[in-house]
Amino acid sequence: MTWEKPQLSEKHANVIRATLPLVGQHINEITSLFYKTMFQNHPELIKDLFNRGNQKQGAQQKALAASVAVFASKLVNENEELPAHLFSRIGHKHAALGITADQYQIVHDNLFYAIVQVLGADTVTAEVAEAWDRVYWLMADMLIKFEKGLYDEAGVEPGKVFRQVKVVQSDKLTDDVTLFSIESTDASKPLPAHKPGQYISVRARLPDGAGQLRQYSLVDDGVKAGRLSFAVKAVTATESAPAGEVSNWLSQNARVGTELEVSVPFGDLVLNTASSAPVVLVSAGIGATPMMGMLSRLVHDKSERQIIVLHVDKSAATDAFASQAKQLVSKLSNCRFHSWYAEGTSDDTTTVGEKLNLGKESLPKDALVYLCGSTEFLQAAAKDLKETGIPGDNVQFELFTPNDWLIS
């Protein structure tokens, strides 16, 4: 999809230019109060929709702050285009959560309440409120239209994305990674095929009654309807982040026969199967999951494209897909595979004790590059890729936290 930049009136644009620094200065305060107020008014949203772990860390607030600020700044700068990857990712995430147009009004009302409370009614005059209201609805309408297209493509009504499924296979890949295969509980309505690299939302009914949702990439080739497979890494608590509620619940409770609720597939980190250009798959840790889906599709298609698979992990013991990746690579006629581990022993396909530097990998200039990993990993990869001469439009990425604005 081409994201056409909507137009602000000159009057509204002047107001946004004048107030954007002030809003930006207080955006974290605004969004913190916004979420607090919205969850007080609509407790069902934090219970069954928003990621409680991200809320505890403030990650979701920062994501909203960034997207609104970026959108406003682009609108008032004639020489800048909208960051298509950012808004596409937001739209796909919304679709996977079943977001509908009416929920944008809830966000609007609570966000503008927070803006007035933080900046003060003397600052947020009728003129200022009108200009920012216009910015919000331009962004909202753009996303609503995009999400409607995603629902249409998936063949579902807006928001009606969830299906009841059962676990038909469960395999422990490492100490903390489990591979689940699921099928519909209704044999007459099989789970759909999908594009390689996409994900599903999985709802876990937790002991406190909350129905928390998380997204997990699909690792199968996606060609046939019926069965989907995804891997879950049980996230342990750290000093800066709580343990993963859903990942640990699934790892400890989901067994063959367990019923779950999942969305149909969405996601814009998708292998271009129509192209003959070289493919470079780069991942770190559990970020290998969408790459496994892409690699599986390339094997299914008996692809003769030049393919390079690069993966970073702690060790062979923590590399959940090492064996499967090597097996798939062996079935491709023109594929190079290499891993970088912090611990272990180096060999022909493994480097230990050194960091991956994409700038030293002799990547084809016309390659389509797909990245998935932590924010820090993607920042380093993006920096390396700038030095290779590969066009930015040829690079796509996915990460598992709402930090897109940190990837440049």
Neighbours of 29 (CB within 10 A): 16
The separation between CA 233 and the C-alpha centre of its own chain, rounded to angstroms, equals 16
Tokens of 52: 């409680």
- pTM score: 0.93
Q: Find residue 182's DSSP bridge partners.
A: 167, 228
The separation between CA 316 and the C-alpha centre of its own chain, rounded to angstroms, equals 26
d(C-alpha 127, C-alpha 301), whole Å = 57
What size, in residues, is the chain?
A: 408
CB 143 within 8 A of CB 234: no
Catalytic residue among 136, 147, 199, 245: 147
What secondary structure letter does DSSP report for 221? -
151 catalytic residue (yes or no): no
Beta strand 259-263 pairing with 199-205: antiparallel
354 catalytic residue (yes or no): no
CB 83 within 8 A of CB 142: no
Cβ-in-10-Å burial (0-12, 13-18, 19+) of 365 comes to exposed
d(C-alpha 361, C-alpha 388), whole Å = 9
Residue 278 — φ and ψ, nearest 5°?
A: -60, 150
Neighbours of 334 (CB within 10 A): 11
- Minimal CA–CA distance to 198: which of 323, 282, 304, 297? 297
CB 179 within 8 A of CB 324: no
CB 398 within 8 A of CB 369: no
Along the chain (408 residues), what's the average pLDDT of each consecutive run of 10 residues? 85 96 90 92 91 71 76 91 87 96 96 95 96 95 96 97 98 97 96 97 94 96 96 89 91 97 97 97 97 98 97 96 96 96 94 93 94 91 89 85 51
In which order are the strands placed within the sheet that holds 259-263?
211-217, 199-205, 259-263, 162-172, 177-184, 227-233
What per-residue confidence (pLDDT) applies to 406?
Answer: 46
Torsion of CA 91, 295, 258, 242, to 10 degrees: -60
Torsion of CA 340, 344, 345, 350, to 10 degrees: -20
Catalytic residue among 35, 104, 199, 370: 104
What per-residue confidence (pLDDT) applies to 3?
Answer: 80
What per-residue confidence (pLDDT) applies to 57?
Answer: 66
d(C-alpha 323, C-alpha 335), whole Å = 16
CB 66 within 8 A of CB 139: no
What per-residue confidence (pLDDT) applies to 408?
Answer: 46
Residue 145 — φ and ψ, nearest 5°?
A: -65, -45
